[in-house]
Amino acid sequence: MLYYKDWGQGDPVVLMHGWPLTGDTFDDLAIKLVEAGKRCIIPDRRGFGRSDQPWNGYDYDTFADDVAAILEDAGINQPVALVGFSMGGGEVARFTSKQGKNRVSAAVFASSVVPQVVQSDDWPDGVPQSKLDDITKQMTEDRAGFMKTFLQQFYGWGVLSRPVSEAVLDSGFQQAMMAGARPTYAAAAAWASTDFRPDLQAFDGVPTLILHGTSDANVPIEGTGRKTKELIPHATLIEYDGSPHGIFETDKERFCKDVTEFLTRESRGTSADTSASAIPLSN
């Protein structure tokens, strides 16, 4: 089963979380969007959070198909706004290229892995494969220990800088460990190796916002956010000076404001329907 929250009424927005967290990533943003008159669809990706953990399907074609299936289950046929954080940015890209830009009213890439993470001959600003291999080795040897360290870097948390509380780190760890080991490893391989450059050709004419921290150590801005801007020239790029990867927490107020203002020209209160749903998940 694929779990998703369905909050509010109005123009639909799909919020796609990053690795290795859950849809709860977007609770604060979703509240602001619902208050601004939006309907928020907030999935837990297959293998993560409250969704089932099948063995197969941890590739971006399947992830995009899962989003389409959730929209069908929710009865949403009109164009949707897409917000993708980190690996969720890849779902924004692949959904748009597979479903067509007429299915998408707007797109937001936040700390996104798009256009490509891994370094290659024609992508020198990417992360060396050796570093990605080392991450895989650390995960398989001690997944829980790895997540503890990973989340500190994710939020820029250290001796001199603690932009979030220890409770936020604990919450992230709890969410990360809800995922199965197989989904965790397979999804990491997908976001680390997928080339989204062909997908970005579908964004011509799609209103697009890019948000990225300049001190993102997990997904460095040079090879992602700034490159996405080059490949989608009409997009708006907002750089969060000195911010790490997890800007939805470290820069929460600004992040919510930037996304909400982009997706709606004026805030308008509405009575919110809040519910959660699940649909069958194929293996």
Place of tokens 């409250």: 50
| Ranges of H-type helices in the chain | 27-35, 60-73, 88-99, 129-141, 143-154, 166-178, 181-193, 225-231, 247-250, 252-263
Indicate which residue of 11, 44, 66, 216 is catalytic. Answer: 216
243 part of the active site: no
Residue among 51, 97, 111, 245 flagged as catalytic: 245
Distance from C-alpha of 203 to C-alpha of 219, rounded to nearest angstrom: 22
DSSP character at residue 56: S
Annotation says 275 is catalytic: no
Sheet holding 11-16, edge to edge: 236-240, 208-213, 104-110, 80-85, 11-16, 38-43, 2-7, 274-279
Contact 261, 32 (CB under 8 A): no
Are 52 and 43 in contact, with CB atoms under 8 Å apart? no
Burial class for 252, CB neighbours closer than 10 Å (0-12, 13-18, 19+): middle
Clarify whether 245 is annotated catalytic. yes
- Cα-based distances in Å from 174 to 1, 125, 177, 178, 217: 20, 32, 5, 6, 22
Rounded-to-integer distance, Cα 231 and Cα 165, Å: 36
User: Which DSSP symbol is given to 179?
Assistant: S
Dist. CA 201–CA 189, nearest whole Å: 23
Q: Which of 51, 86, 111, 243 is catalytic?
A: 86
Cα–Cα distance measured from residue 124 to residue 227, given in angstroms and rounded to the nearest whole number:
12
Active site positions, annotated:
86, 216, 245
